[in-house]
Chain A
Amino acid sequence: MYTHLVVARSSVLRRDNDAAEAGANGFLYLARRPTNPADIALCWMPAARIPPPETAAFLAAASMTDADRAAAVTFTSKLGFSRGEEACVQVLVVGLQDGSSWPELWIDALRAEQQPPGLAPVVNMVRSWLRRLGRDLVECDVPNIFFLSDRLAAMSRWPPTLPQPGADSTIYRAGALGMGVISSVVGRPIATKIEDVGWSMLEQFAKVTAFAKSKTSEALEHPLARPLLPLIPEQVRSYFLSSAEAEALLREYDSAGHYLARFSNEIQNRLRRRNRPEEPAPAEISEFVDVDQTRAYEVISAPYQSHFSGMPLTLEEWKSWHDEAGSVEAYRLKFFARIFTGGIEPAARREAWKFLVGAHAFASTALDRSRVDRDRAEQYANLKLSWQHAIQASEEEASAGMGLSPSPNSGPVGDENENADPLTKVRERKYRIEKDVVRTDRNTGYFAEAPADVEQLAGLKVGPHLFVLRDILMTYTILNFDLGYVQGMSDLCSPILEIMDDEIEAFWTFSHYMERMKSHFARDQLGMQRELRRLELLVRLVDPPLYRHMELTDSVNMFCCFRWLLICFKREFPFSEIKTLWEVILACPLSEHFQIFVAAAILNMHRTQIFHQRAFDEVLKFINGLSDTIPVPDSIQHAQVLYYLARDLVKKYAPTDIVASLETIPSVELWLENTAGSAVDGSADSGQLLLAWEGDMDSWTPEEWQEVVQLFAVPK
């Protein structure tokens, strides 16, 4: 939580196109986490939201002169929110966590009524702050977006430690939001906001509880009303609630500020839409009162940090881990931790993937591996020949008029008949695989159509790599004859073929990857049912309001996420990015089922929109439409945060014997140092947050806890 002020500037006004929002006076400030002084966030807070006793601290921070600044602050972590293709570049985006940009801020706008100063003075000021911390802001060609430079100037001894008010004071709880969220708090006086929407909302709650009109306090204690509490003036609040009750409620809502932020964001959006009728409102946003924001990412992520830095394992690093004989055993832990926190750079993928999927052993020497490779090449050739011979025989049979079907091209494409003879199976598999291979990534660079004199596959002209893909899949159905070919396998194989760019290496890497994935494809579909059930339980654990909404919309069977899990999100992200996500999932040292956390995270990231889908078909359509719109780094970061939250919830609410059965998890930080060690569980700051789940945990049965604990099975 960013609870400690570093430096502040008063009279920073928020400018908004919306006339009603203009002129909110506030503080721009840097705040840091007490637990990690290097982690600093840029925030803006309207003055009206700061209670009088705490204003002093802001004023003190704002009135510091250079001479006052004695204490040094190191600044090593990234500032603000990083996003973008080059994940390893630290970026300061003057933007909100949801991707929109910051509202324009003015400094001393009251003194410049004629000519508003705009964003430039704000940027200059932030830059001067950062320069004192040994960093700088660099402009890029996108307006309002600045890179945080890596320039490490000598640290000046600045700023001093300020007198900090109590860490549990309201403003500091609200100030824990970090950059972005806090800035979405609109600066209009609270009273007007209440006037606009507050009362009408209260009226709605009154309707809900019409059967108990005398008990208005119950209405306010209703979960839907809770986000409103911070908005209600003290006097009004105490009118309904004894102040002890009100305080307790507010305390329970540690992150009240988060709700306020989200809440006012919604109000702003609505106002903006109302004022600009030419911009049609997005259909999915209707009545925000239905949306319980208590499990929004901004809320649940406050006490947690993700491991994902976006800095991939480099080829150089990877090479440096090999000893003289070529073994990487000494760096096994670091290997997984490094990939879990950043994926693998393309140049290092080909070799690293073989270890990642278990095709090569860490302890093997280069000599061992070349022996294995030689054996495997031979084995592959034999497997491949066996189906090629079968196809040949079948074609000869057909041309001699003995075939079961008029042409070898006429296999069934429905599903395999278990009782068919092997020759028929092989022939039919080839037909089915070719049907799918030509529909697999045919438009991506590696598989794109070849220019001239190309052969035809399933009636289409395709490039040579799709023929290789077919051969690998055919050979795999010989290796795993009972499983056969099932739709979706071609999607899992194509990125691996692109990485390896070699038929035999791709085959063996794919085969090892399939050891993890093959249960998804079994005829009885039990593997997929288990995956969907796990996702259902995880959503119910971490986001009960969303779960309840999915119940109402017949969506808790999670069929809407079937495609995500069957082929591990292959269709949801661009071809160029899916490899990073797979690497993180395969390397995850914390859980064998990290893909379930990724799925729950994507649902949580889009929960507001999902709340506006009113039936199963709408939910499914919305989720299918997310394809290619989700950023990979965000999904990974959210999933990592969700993992720790889920684990904390299990530890707090599951029966004792279940908690005792939780495996100890490794410390990713220690593994990054290549030191074995287990993590200290739980976040020191999460206690308050977890209380919010109390009412939702009564319905859990021991069997369900038992199931959910499996999500934390640590890879061996």
Chain B
Amino acid sequence: MRGGRKALLKVIILGDSGVGKTSLMNQYVNNKFSTQYKATIGADFLTKEVLVEERSVTMQIWDTAGQERFQSLGVAFYRGADCCALVYDVNNVKSFENLDSWRDEFLLQANPRDPENFPFVVIGNKVDVEESKRQVTQKRAMAWCQQKGNIPYFETSAKEGINVEQAFFTIAKNSLKQEADVELYSDFPDPIKIDGDTSVAKSAGCEC
């Protein structure tokens, strides 16, 4: 056992309604795309086993409703997140402009230990749509990502399965890295302290 490290990575997908959050999640986990998804109400998640740096981990990917007023529920869903994927539709500039508030909302609600270094990933979805409809250039998106502390950026198509695997793999990798960093500062005691005062640990655990 490597310390108290959990094998579960919790990933939250955020972004405006209709940008393709549910589709991305399903494309990644089930390799499927459907035009029949309903608008997400409340929240749901899917899990997938992945191998990252020779470690097998379970990714728990949370899909939430895109209308902002429903984010008052967020606190319950965001708790303990290891990574947050901010999704926008490259054919809808407003969904890109809203990334700022999605990021702020997440940091406020999830209240991570180290907000400056919390791992985000930005995903520009629906690149399969004809180029003339595109409203956000790659350059513009990457500039935003750089300004927010070098957030990794991916352009995907959940419909065609383009780049989805790569985006989520980065999410998994960065979550794990984050976890390793956080672990150093962990204030949750292990059940048995190996390097601590053994007599205390003993009396707490075994005296009946």
Which chain A residue has the least Cβ–Cβ distance from B36?
A: A443
Q: A525 within 8 Å of B by Cβ?
A: yes
Q: Which residues of B contact A563 (CB under 8 A)?
A: 41-42
Q: Which residues of A contact B41 (CB under 8 A)?
A: 487-488, 491, 562-563, 566-567, 571
Q: How far is the CA of A442 from the CA of B34 in the complex (A)?
A: 12
The tally of residues in B whose CB lies under 8 Å from a CB in A reads 35
Q: A675 within 8 Å of B by Cβ?
A: no
Q: How far is the CA of A525 from the CA of B73 in the complex (A)?
A: 10
Q: How far is the CA of A560 from the CA of B43 in the complex (A)?
A: 8
Interface string of A439-474 (1 = CB under 8 A from B): 110110000000000000010100000000000000
Q: Which residues of A contact B102 (CB under 8 A)?
A: 414
Which chain B residue has the least Cβ–Cβ distance from A461?
A: B35
Nearest CB of chain A from residue B72's CB, rounded to whole Å:
5
The 8 Å CB contact of A525, one of B19, B38, B72, is B72
Which chain A residue has the least Cβ–Cβ distance from B129?
A: A459
| Pair B67/A415 contact, Cβ less than 8 Å | yes
| Pair B94/A405 contact, Cβ less than 8 Å | yes
Q: B119 within 8 Å of A by Cβ?
A: no
Q: A282 within 8 Å of B by Cβ?
A: no
| Pair B208/A559 contact, Cβ less than 8 Å | no
Q: Which residues of B contact A366 (CB under 8 A)?
A: none
| Pair A414/B39 contact, Cβ less than 8 Å | no
Which chain B residue has the least Cβ–Cβ distance from A415?
A: B68
Q: A557 within 8 Å of B by Cβ?
A: yes
| Pair A562/B73 contact, Cβ less than 8 Å | yes
Q: A218 within 8 Å of B by Cβ?
A: no
Q: Which candidate, A30-38, A111-119, A387-395, A615-623, is the interface stretch facing chain B?
A: A615-623
Interface string of A415-452 (1 = CB under 8 A from B): 10000000000000000100110011011000000000
Q: Which residues of B contact A222 (CB under 8 A)?
A: none
> Most A CB atoms within 10 A — which of B43, B97, B102?
B43
A435 with B94, Cβ < 8 A, contacts A440-B38, A562-B73 known: no
Which chain A residue has the least Cβ–Cβ distance from B8?
A: A617
| Pair B18/A435 contact, Cβ less than 8 Å | yes
Which chain A residue has the least Cβ–Cβ distance from B41?
A: A563
Q: Which residues of A contact B175 (CB under 8 A)?
A: none
Which chain B residue has the least Cβ–Cβ distance from A412?
A: B94
| Pair A559/B76 contact, Cβ less than 8 Å | yes
| Pair A487/B67 contact, Cβ less than 8 Å | yes
| Pair A413/B92 contact, Cβ less than 8 Å | yes
Q: Which residues of B contact A440 (CB under 8 A)?
A: 38-39
Which chain A residue has the least Cβ–Cβ distance from B72?
A: A525
Q: How far is the CA of A472 from the CA of B159 in the complex (A)?
A: 30
Q: How far is the CA of A123 from the CA of B45 in the complex (A)?
A: 48
> Most B CB atoms within 10 A — which of A405, A413, A443, A616?
A413
Q: A326 within 8 Å of B by Cβ?
A: no
| Pair B66/A487 contact, Cβ less than 8 Å | yes
Nearest CB of chain A from residue B174's CB, rounded to whole Å:
21
Q: Which residues of B contact A621 (CB under 8 A)?
A: 44-45
> Most B CB atoms within 10 A — which of A432, A490, A523?
A432
Q: How far is the CA of A529 from the CA of B60 in the complex (A)?
A: 26
Q: How far is the CA of A488 from the CA of B66 in the complex (A)?
A: 12
Nearest CB of chain A from residue B59's CB, rounded to whole Å:
13
| Pair B135/A410 contact, Cβ less than 8 Å | yes
Instruction: Enumerate chain A interface residues (CB-CB to B < 8 A).
Output: 210, 405-406, 410-415, 432, 435-436, 439-440, 442-443, 458, 460, 486-488, 490-491, 521-523, 525, 529, 554, 557, 559-560, 562-563, 566-567, 571, 616-617, 620-621, 624
What 14 additional pairs, Cβ within 8 angstroms, besides A414-B17, A559-B73?
A405-B94, A410-B93, A410-B94, A412-B98, A413-B17, A413-B18, A440-B38, A442-B36, A486-B67, A487-B67, A559-B42, A566-B41, A616-B76, A624-B42
Instruction: Enumerate chain B interface residues (CB-CB to A < 8 A).
Output: 16-19, 35-39, 41-45, 60, 65-70, 72-73, 76-77, 92-95, 97-98, 101-102, 135, 208
- Report the 10 A-B pairs with minimum CB-CB distance, sorted nearest first: A415-B68, A412-B94, A435-B18, A562-B42, A563-B42, A413-B16, A413-B17, A414-B16, A563-B41, A414-B98
